[in-house]
Amino acid sequence: MNDIYQKWRESEAYAVPMTEDGVKWSQERWRGFSTGYKQAMKDVINLLMIQHEAARGSHNYWHVAANLVRVEFLSEEKNT
């Protein structure tokens, strides 16, 4: 997630005046984006698991795909 954050910060740098208020607004937008992004990844995993369960295990790629998304995009949240 650091690479995504860095790209976001670079795009924000020109748009936000670097005052204390500008930094706070920037951080609030990041928190909002980050929360939505994490929820979207969780929803993707849940949908893939629903497909896996509907296939009754015969199509294991649904389960593999869910695990790949979990490891790639939510690796920072190991205990959630």
Q: Summarize pLDDT for 22-79 with one digit per residue, the tens.
A: 778 888 888 998 899 899 989 988 888 888 877 775 667 888 888 888 888 887 665 4
Report d(CA 67, CA 56) in Å as an integer.
17
Report d(CA 66, CA 6) in Å as an integer.
26
Report d(CA 62, CA 47) in Å as an integer.
9
Distance, CA of 41 to chain centre? 5
Give pLDDT, residue 80. Answer: 45
Q: Looking at the predicted structure, is the pLDDT value of residue 17 above 70?
A: no
Give pLDDT, residue 25. Answer: 82
What's the token pair of residue 24? 């706070």
User: Is there a contact between 5 and 26 (Cβ–Cβ < 8 Å)?
Assistant: no
Give pLDDT, residue 61. Answer: 82
**The total number of residues written for the chain in this structure:** 80
